[in-house]
Amino acid sequence: LSIGEQRENSLNGVTAAWIRVRVTAAEGDQPEYKESPKIRSMSAATIGGFAPATHCQIVKHEMLGRTAGTPGEAFTLNRTPLIAGQDDLILEVSSPDGWERWTRVETFANRGPHEKIFCLDNVTGELRFGPIVRQPDGSTRSYGATPPSGSNLRVPEYRAGGGVAGNVDAGALRLLRTSIPFISKAENIHPAVGGVDPETIADLKARAAIDLRARNRAVSTADFELLTQQASPSLVRTKCLNGADFGSPGTVLVLVVPDIQPGRVPFELLRPREDTLASVKKFIDERRLVGTTIRIEPPRYMGVSVAARLAVHSHADQEQVLTAADNAIANFLHPLHGGYDGTGWPFGRDVSVGDIYSVLQQVPGLMYVDVARLIPIDAVSGTRAEPTDKISLKPHDLLYSLPSDFEVVQR
């Protein structure tokens, strides 16, 4: 029996993909039932599977050029940035006996002069061989071997791409670009997470001062926040709270927000994966003070919807104005890009209708806001509270914008 795509339905209070079974009249030589049959067992088999996927482009057999035979020589890959997790990337160097495999390393420090190694920058794609360094006594030392002059360089395979643009919603990937035998369809059943854009120069400057002071130890709140981002670059916003402030002395709570796109995003994208949280906790545990308990978790999100009556200019497109107003609120309350400074709505900061008025008054085509109210909504259960003029947050709370409800004033 082959059953096609099933949809969930509610029957007698049970939501499931139901299968209806009926007893039909006997056909031909089939015996008839003398009593109602009882189903002793039922089994189901599905043909399908799960496979990990990465947002990237696979580049194969890329030729980098010929070497000049000088130490410290550099070449650049065509596709950048490279995604993380390619420490085993191989470089092939031509020789009279064929292609030799050279190994990627993190640093040339303490490397011997005959080791066939190279370093590779994931962001710029620069591939570099080991240098020759003059020693205090005037002699020179090679940190890694140098390919002979005229050697061809080839990278068998690497993966480039990534970034926050790859953090798509569940069900966003459904199109098979090439036909695969025995595969009828494919779909991402979970949201894609972990994509991070390269660090900006401004972010690097801000991090460098803290990094030098922390020296890889978690002591101050700034240390915990910095080391959390080092442990997982996908957690781009962190907030460290003292457990004594919420009844847990000796505990350090680090709130984390993953990298997400501007605008309104599905709630599940705001919660990091459990394996990510576990790996970060392990990283911090190795650097904390003895006797300190660490908790790494997302903030408690407070959902908020705006209900407002708006007056729209007669020459403006009403639908466009309402869409722009809703987008403006979503961006203003965004965990990463919201707030008055555009760096994310502050942890624990209350929101009032006055904040919403200031945002809506800047929407093109909007004459004025007749009235506005805030509706608190439980981000998990969806339970709506009574409309109010102000929503108060606790230090570990963060706002999450839900669709607005607008009414247009007739003039």
Q: Within 13 Å, how many C-alpha atoms sit on residue 220's CB side?
A: 8
CB 161 within 8 A of CB 195: no
The mean per-residue pLDDT over the stretch 82-90 comes to 91
The mean per-residue pLDDT over the stretch 357-386 comes to 92
Clarify whether residues 67 and 157 are in a common domain.
Answer: yes
The Cα 68–Cα 346 span in angstroms is 54
CB 56 within 8 A of CB 159: yes
Phi, psi of 57 (to 5 degrees): -115, 130
> Where do runs of H (alpha helix) occur along 305-376?
318-332, 353-360
Quick one: which of 242, 240, 246 has its CA closest to 226? 240
The Cα 334–Cα 345 span in angstroms is 6
Query: What residue numbers bound the domain in which 246 lies?
Result: 201-297
Clarify whether residues 61 and 121 are in a common domain.
Answer: yes
- 213 Cβ contact partners less than 8 Å away, ≥ 6 residues apart: 222, 223
User: Which of 250, 270, 297 finishes a domain?
Assistant: 297
Whether 80 maps to a domain, the answer reads: yes
Clarify whether residues 242 and 315 are in a common domain.
Answer: no
Burial 260-282 (b: 16+ CB within 10 A, else e): beeebbeeebbbbeeebbeebbe
φ/ψ bin of 125: left (φ > 0), alpha (ψ from -120 to 50), beta (otherwise): left
Whether 31 maps to a domain, the answer reads: no
Burial 239-258 (b: 16+ CB within 10 A, else e): bbbebeeeeeeebbbbbbbb
Please give the distance of CA 85 from its chain centroid, rounded to a whole number: 15
Predicted local confidence at residue 383, as pLDDT: 87
Tell me the pTM: 0.59
Clarify whether residues 354 and 334 are in a common domain.
Answer: yes
Clarify whether residues 285 and 329 are in a common domain.
Answer: no
Which position has the token pair 């003070």? 289
Q: Within 13 Å, how many C-alpha atoms sit on residue 65's CB side?
A: 11
What would the pLDDT profile of 158-192 be if each residue is shown by its tens digit? 999 988 788 887 788 888 888 888 787 888 887 78
Q: Sorting pLDDT into bands at 50, 70 and 90, what band is 45?
A: low
Distance (Å) of CA 189 to CA 5, 192, 296, 353, 388: 15, 9, 26, 37, 37
The mean per-residue pLDDT over the stretch 137-166 comes to 93
What would the pLDDT profile of 209-244 be if each residue is shown by its tens digit? 656 665 677 788 888 998 998 888 889 999 999 877
Q: Is the Cα torsion angle 256, 349, 340, 262 positive or negative in sign? A: positive
Clarify whether residues 288 and 212 are in a common domain.
Answer: yes
Clarify whether residues 144 and 65 are in a common domain.
Answer: yes
User: Which of 108, 143, 161 finishes a domain?
Assistant: 161
Clarify whether residues 316 and 343 are in a common domain.
Answer: yes
CB 123 within 8 A of CB 198: yes
Pairing of strands 132-134, 140-142: antiparallel
Which position has the token pair 């903030």? 299
What the block records as the tokens of 280 is 């970060």
Lowest mean pLDDT among 64-78, 86-100, 240-254, 341-355: 240-254
Query: Cis ω on the peptide bond leading into residue 395 (within 30° of 0)?
Result: no
User: Which of 297, 312, 334 finishes a domain?
Assistant: 297
What would the pLDDT profile of 353-369 be if each residue is shown by its tens digit? 999 999 999 999 999 99
The mean per-residue pLDDT over the stretch 88-117 comes to 95
Whether 30 maps to a domain, the answer reads: no
Whether 311 maps to a domain, the answer reads: yes
Phi, psi of 85 (to 5 degrees): 85, 20
CB 222 within 8 A of CB 210: yes
First vs last C-alpha separation in the chain: 63
Whether 171 maps to a domain, the answer reads: no
Whether 101 maps to a domain, the answer reads: yes
Phi, psi of 156 (to 5 degrees): -60, -40
What would the pLDDT profile of 270-293 be if each residue is shown by its tens digit? 989 888 999 999 999 988 887 888
Predicted local confidence at residue 247, as pLDDT: 66
Quick one: which of 178, 176, 186, 181 has its CA closest to 49? 186
Whether 24 maps to a domain, the answer reads: no
Q: Sorting pLDDT into bands at 50, 70 and 90, what band is 150?
A: very high
The Cα 258–Cα 219 span in angstroms is 23
Clarify whether residues 277 and 367 are in a common domain.
Answer: no
The segment with the largest mean pLDDT, out of 17-21, 170-174, 227-231, 344-348, is 344-348
Whether 22 maps to a domain, the answer reads: no
The mean per-residue pLDDT over the stretch 339-346 comes to 94
Predicted local confidence at residue 19, as pLDDT: 80
Clarify whether residues 346 and 292 are in a common domain.
Answer: no
Please return the burial class of 321, using the count of CB atoms within 10 Å of its CB with bins 0-12, 13-18 and 19+: buried
152 or 409: which carries more pLDDT confidence?
152
> What's the number of domains the chain is made of?
3
Clarify whether residues 149 and 205 are in a common domain.
Answer: no
Please give the distance of CA 332 from its chain centroid, rounded to a whole number: 20
Clarify whether residues 127 and 215 are in a common domain.
Answer: no
What the block records as the tokens of 38 is 């009882």
Number of residues in the chain? 411
